[in-house]
């Protein structure tokens, strides 16, 4: 059983550059979530999809952030004009369609470092 | 807004002993779910145990059990017969009954000594 896959594992970029991360959920999981985790903190919710529909976005998700899930399978998270404060671990999770009580399965995350 | 508080930044336990990690939450909802997740160093977060708010019985998963006190809004995790592999960050998380997002606490770092 393949788990949630995230690519890349690490991304180092200069301030002002655009970055894109990819998440492949567990097959047959129709819900997909993005979280951000900074050092010493718990993950903070960014957004989630049910199939291809983006159902909720956090106020943390400024207009520089955009997430897509065009075919209801993999998802991308893009950050435009990166800032120092964007340095964090970006976690993706997925869950099956059986109900809200289903646990979310997390990937290894993408660690973003802004120089 | 719902909040989750973990008041113990670090805890330590000796191998084979029992340790309890604390978690409190604040909500006005009656329908919700609570979770404990484990995040080993540089590894992915994995589910340890979950509890549905409507269930009075405390959840158990092998050496892991919870003490769910709904009126007190408390959800502690007990780890029995601690093992070296239990060393990790432990996060308590809340999920409303009508939304999919998880709200996490700040975590407790558990060290296990031989």
What is the model's pLDDT at position B57? 92
Taking the Cβ of residue B33 and every Cβ of chain A, the question of whether any pair is shorter than 8 Å is answered with yes
Residue A4, helix vs strand vs coil: coil
Mean pLDDT calculated for residue range B74-84 = 98
Task: Decide if B107 and A100 are in contact by the 8 Å CB cutoff.
Answer: no
The C-alpha atoms of residue B46 and residue B90 are separated, in whole angstroms, by 10
**Predicted confidence (pLDDT) at residue B70 exceeds the cutoff of 60:** yes
Helix or strand holding residue B104 (H, E): strand B102-104
Task: Tell me what the pLDDT averaged over chain B comes to.
Answer: 95
Question: From B48, which residue of chain A is nearest by alpha-carbon distance?
Answer: A103
What is the model's pLDDT at position A100? 61
Task: Decide if A44 and B104 are in contact by the 8 Å CB cutoff.
Answer: yes
**Predicted confidence (pLDDT) at residue B90 exceeds the cutoff of 60:** yes
What percent of chain B shows pLDDT beyond 70? 100
Regions in chain A scoring below 50 on pLDDT: none
**Predicted confidence (pLDDT) at residue B99 exceeds the cutoff of 90:** no
The C-alpha atoms of residue A4 and residue B38 are separated, in whole angstroms, by 16
pLDDT tens-digit series, residues B21-48: 999 999 999 899 999 999 998 788 999 9
Task: Decide if B102 and A35 are in contact by the 8 Å CB cutoff.
Answer: yes
What is the model's pLDDT at position B52? 92
| Interface test with chain B among A5, A101, A102, A111, by most B beta carbons within 10 Å | A101
Task: Decide if A100 and B101 are in contact by the 8 Å CB cutoff.
Answer: no
What percent of chain B shows pLDDT beyond 90? 87
* Torsion over CA: A36, A38, A40, A41 (sign): negative
- Counting every residue, how long is chain B? 114
**Predicted confidence (pLDDT) at residue B106 exceeds the cutoff of 60:** yes
Judged by average pLDDT, the poorest of A49-58, A92-101, B2-11, B53-62 is: A92-101
Residue B88, helix vs strand vs coil: strand
Taking the Cβ of residue A99 and every Cβ of chain B, the question of whether any pair is shorter than 8 Å is answered with no
What is the model's pLDDT at position A1? 56
Own/partner pairs for B95-98, CB < 8 Å, 24+ apart? B95/A100, B95/A101, B95/B32, B95/B33, B95/B34, B95/B35, B96/B2, B96/B27, B96/B29, B96/B31, B96/B32, B97/A100, B97/B29, B97/B30, B97/B31, B97/B32, B97/B33, B97/B53, B98/A100, B98/B31
The C-alpha atoms of residue A21 and residue B58 are separated, in whole angstroms, by 39
Taking the Cβ of residue B109 and every Cβ of chain A, the question of whether any pair is shorter than 8 Å is answered with no
What is the model's pLDDT at position A99? 65
Taking the Cβ of residue B90 and every Cβ of chain A, the question of whether any pair is shorter than 8 Å is answered with no
Task: Decide if A50 and B45 are in contact by the 8 Å CB cutoff.
Answer: no
The C-alpha atoms of residue B48 and residue B60 are separated, in whole angstroms, by 10
Residue A103 with chain B: CB contacts under 8 Å: 35, 47, 50
- For B86, list phi and psi in degrees, rounded to 5: -80, -10
A114: closest CA among A90, A91, A89, A84? A84
């Amino acid at each position: 059983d393949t788990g949630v896959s995230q690519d890349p594992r690490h991304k180092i970029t200069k301030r002002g550059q655009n970055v894109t991360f990819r998440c492949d959920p567990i097959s047959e999981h129709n819900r997909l979530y993005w979280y951000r985790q900074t050092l010493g903190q718990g993950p903070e919710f960014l957004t989630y999809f049910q199939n291809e529909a983006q159902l909720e976005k956090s106020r943390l998700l400024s207009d520089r952030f955009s997430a897509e899930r065009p075919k209801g399978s993999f998802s991308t998270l893009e950050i435009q004009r990166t800032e120092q404060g964007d340095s964090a671990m970006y976690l993706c999770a997925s869950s099956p369609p059986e109900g809200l009580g289903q646990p979310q399965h997390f990937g290894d995350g993408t660690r973003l470092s802004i120089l | 807004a719902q909040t989750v508080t973990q008041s113990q930044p670090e805890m330590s336990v000796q191998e084979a002993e029992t340790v309890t990690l604390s978690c409190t939450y604040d909500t006005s909802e009656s329908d919700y779910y609570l979770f404990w997740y484990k995040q080993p160093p540089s590894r992915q977060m994995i589910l340890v145990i979950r509890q549905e708010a409507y269930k009075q019985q405390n959840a158990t998963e092998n050496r892991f059990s919870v003490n769910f006190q709904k009126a007190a809004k408390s959800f502690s995790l007990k780890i029995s017969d601690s093992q070296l592999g239990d060393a990790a960050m432990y996060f308590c998380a809340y999920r409303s009954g009508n939304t999919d997002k998880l709200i996490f606490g700040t975590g407790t770092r558990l060290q296990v000594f031989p």
